[in-house]
Amino acid sequence: MDSEDETMMMMEDSNDDEEFYGRGDDDSDLDNVIMDYDGFMDHDSDDSDGLSSPRQHHYHHRSQNYTILNEDDIRQCQEENITKISTVLSISRVDAGILLRHYNWSVSKVNDEWFADEEKVRKTVGLLENHVPLPDAKELTCGICFDTYPRNRMSAAACGHPFCFVCWQGYISTAINDGPGCLMLRCPDPSCGAAIGQDMVNKLTNNDDRGKYNRYFLRSFVEDNRKTKWCPAPGCDYAVDFIVGGGSYDITCQCSHSFCWNCVEEAHRPVDCGTVSKWIMKNSAESENMNWILANSKPCPKCKRPIEKNQGCMHITCTPPCKFEFCWLCLGAWSEHGERTGGFYACNRYEAAKQEGAYDDTEKRREMAKNSLERYTHYYERWATNQSSRQRALENLHQMQTIHLEKLSDKQCQPESQLKFIIEAWLQIVECRRVLKWTYAYGYYLPEHEHTKKQFFEYLQGDAESGLERLHQCAEKEFQTYLNSEGPSKDFNEFRTKLAGLTSVTKNYFENLVRALENGLADVDSHAACGRAGSSKNLGGGSTKGRSSRAKGTTSRSSSSRAIDDSSHWSCEHCTFANVRSANICAMCQQHR
């Protein structure tokens, strides 16, 4: 089977799939297809470490494998975990907080280590079993400044080493201003390792330092826990509690920012994190500048500075202080040029040297750099265009939700609940623009020699892109007709049917694309293997008739899998919409039968 046959067979088979790219969710409701900006639901985590789910601000996601936490939720989780440890181990809440902080807020880890060797844990963390009181004297000497103070102006940790309030404040304040390490603060005495708890910090510091400490304490719950992360959006204070192994790594925060749990870059399905990292690095690397310089400039023969020639004859003069004059073609001194070397627009020396192969390596290198740059530019421009289109679509979605929907409801005399299909269309556009954007990064790193995979990829990408453009056109341009009409439009229900249908069709195109790319275009390999197996059987004595019969059977199966059971309908070849048999034009894409 040749590569074109393989590609065409895969193109046919790719349209047979109905599974959604949310990994197992086959719900046709668009609220489960992409990010739901309005829905919230309770989601109880089964985390054995006691990371319990709060009762508010739970973000509804298609695979429901994460929970969004605000600061109150985090504080509540901390208090619950501290209560558990304090109750089970019969220790104070302050000591429980120190233990949890040391073991990265893992309740199970604290319990395991404590019951395995309590003495070792106490020594490691700095928790003394018996608190040592301050000496019973009217005056005590501070261990830092060595001044004598009344007993009521001295304080000590569980170890009993006395220090004056002023020295305590300076010691703790310095540690707090140095960063989160203040959470593991120990007694100032060099020979002592007693832990300093939150109660002492609250008692001995001013409001600013106390606020910083409490902030570090709150953030430690997220930053020290492998299953929680802060949303990376600038200015966002939400955290994410992620259920490992629960499905997609894509997270949509309550602030509407979508990101990948694994690499914390923006959401990038169906492209893997490694490809995204390479692509982002390439976009920001100096290597592309060097490629451009190599492809579009030549070095001055004297000072070696790169020079771009954008107009004029072949006579080049380098910039001061070099001022060397040379021929652009052969890079020889201009003083040796003139009419005898071909004049100002040609160079006999260059042509002769080129024929002898003198410039082969240089020209090849420059040509390769130029081709590489053109290829990169092709993919980058389309990546960036879809990024900007997605941003505009997000703005349009916001306008639709806040302004246009109410206006359309008045114009068309329809309740807003009946106009949900428009919001669903825009949500689909936003998600599809994101997916399409990253397919160009995927395409850039697809090996050039894998022609069949490249053909299959471009076919799936082209189908998805054309479907998205039809949907975007309908939601953006055709919608304006009904928004600006004087009164209810007779054909508004037809518009509803068309837009909802295009939304569904576009979803199908993109689920095929995402599934194929996440599988590494494995269908190409499987079809190629089938083709090789078929060829081996034919060489083993199969007749032409047998081969024809098998090929016919394959086509029949492919056709039957795509056939519509209801004989009163026909399937559009362009968008797969099921039209009534009497119609000659597709009601969805307006293409003739």
List active site positions.
Answer: 313
Q: Say if residue 186 is exposed, middle or buried (CB neighbours under 10 Å; 0-12, 13-18, 19+).
A: middle
Report the candidate in 85, 115, 117 with the shortest Cα–Cα distance to residue 100: 85
Specify the 3-state DSSP secondary structure of 252.
strand
Taking phi over 0 as left and psi of -120 to 50 as alpha, with beta for the rest, 342 belongs to left
> Which residues are within 8 A (CB) of 373 and not within 5 positions of it... i.e. 6 or more apart?
288, 291, 292, 295
Distance between CA atoms of residues 166 and 188, nearest Å: 13
Concatenated DSSP letters for 255-313? TS-EEETTT-SB--TTS-HHHHHHHHHHHHSTHHHHHHHHHHEEE-TTT--EEE--SS-
Within 8 A by CB and 6+ apart from 173, the residues are 205, 206, 209
Closest CA to 151 of 160, 174, 128: 160
Residue in this structure with the two tokens 């395991």, named with its chain if needed: 112
- Could you give the CA distance from residue 64 to residue 76 in angstroms, rounded to a whole number? 21
- Bridge partners of 164, per DSSP, are 154
Distance CA 391, CA 430 (A): 8
Burial of 530 from C-beta contacts in 10 A (0-12 / 13-18 / 19+)? middle
Q: For residues 188 and 162, what is the distance between their CA atoms, to the nearest angstrom? A: 10
**Alpha-carbon distance values, 529 to 7, 523, 534, 552 (Å):** 13, 10, 9, 19
Please identify which residue in the block is written with the tokens 């609940």: 417
Q: What six digits make up the tokens of 47?
A: 């985390």
CA-based end-to-end distance of the chain? 31
Single out the residue of 158, 21, 41 nearest to residue 507, CA to CA.
21
Contact call for residues 228 and 239 (beta carbons, < 8 A): yes
CA distances from 41 to 36, 38, 98 (A): 11, 10, 33
* Crossing angle of helices 118-125 and 107-116, rounded to 10°: 120
Rounded to whole angstroms, the Cα distance separating 253 from 261 reads 11
